[in-house]
């Protein structure tokens, strides 16, 4: 019975990780918080006398995520944006670098390969 529950929880966690659409530089730290903090909170809550290091185990990933967020907020805000945003921003910068005006619509993700972005629309290099 408990094996079925554990496998259901594990498969649901894997499935929800696959649905994640916004990916930023902070996502690994947030996953680390969830993977470490949830079991540690369960141990702390179920144990009448938890070990002294359990609160530190809970605090460490949360502090890491908070420090990482503040660092990125102060020094590199673009890393907090999604990968789609970063790719679209880079394509606009390439258009500006080549001296072309920005297109009315940005290229789709399928056509946003380095070869497609570096070649001009009229075929001239």
In a domain, 125, yes or no: no
What pLDDT is stored for residue 125 in this prediction?
46
In a domain, 46, yes or no: yes
Residues 94 and 51 in one domain: no
Number of domains forming the structure of the chain = 2
Residues 87 and 72 in one domain: no
In a domain, 100, yes or no: yes
Residues 33 and 75 in one domain: yes
pTM to 2 decimals? 0.54
Task: Work out the pLDDT band at 11, boundaries 50, 70, 90.
Answer: confident
> Who has greater pLDDT, 14 or 50?
50
In a domain, 11, yes or no: no
What pLDDT is stored for residue 104 in this prediction?
57
In a domain, 50, yes or no: yes
* Structural domain boundaries enclosing 63: 23-80
In a domain, 14, yes or no: no
Q: Concatenated DSSP letters for 33-73?
A: HHHHHHHHHHHHHH-SS--TTHHHHHHHHHHHHHHHHHHHH
118: which residues sit within 8 A by CB, 6+ positions away? 94
Task: Work out the pLDDT band at 76, boundaries 50, 70, 90.
Answer: confident
Residues 62 and 88 in one domain: no
> Who has greater pLDDT, 37 or 3?
37
Residues 70 and 92 in one domain: no
Residues 36 and 67 in one domain: yes
- Is residue 13 helix, strand or coil? helix
In a domain, 58, yes or no: yes
> Who has greater pLDDT, 100 or 36?
36
pLDDT at 106 over 80: no
In a domain, 64, yes or no: yes
Residues 27 and 75 in one domain: yes
């Amino acid at each position: 019975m408990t094996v079925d529950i554990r496998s259901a929880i594990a498969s649901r966690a894997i499935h929800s990780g696959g649905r994640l659409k916004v990916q930023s530089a902070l996502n690994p730290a947030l996953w680390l918080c969830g993977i470490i903090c949830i079991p540690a909170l369960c141990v702390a809550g179920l144990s009448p006398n938890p070990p002294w290091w359990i609160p530190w185990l809970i605090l460490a990933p949360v502090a890491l995520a908070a420090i990482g967020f503040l660092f990125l907020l102060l020094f590199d805000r673009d890393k907090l944006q999604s990968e789609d945003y970063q790719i679209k921003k880079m394509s606009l910068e390439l258009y500006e670098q080549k001296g072309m005006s920005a297109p009315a619509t940005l290229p789709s993700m399928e056509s946003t390969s380095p070869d497609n972005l570096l070649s001009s629309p009229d075929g001239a290099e």
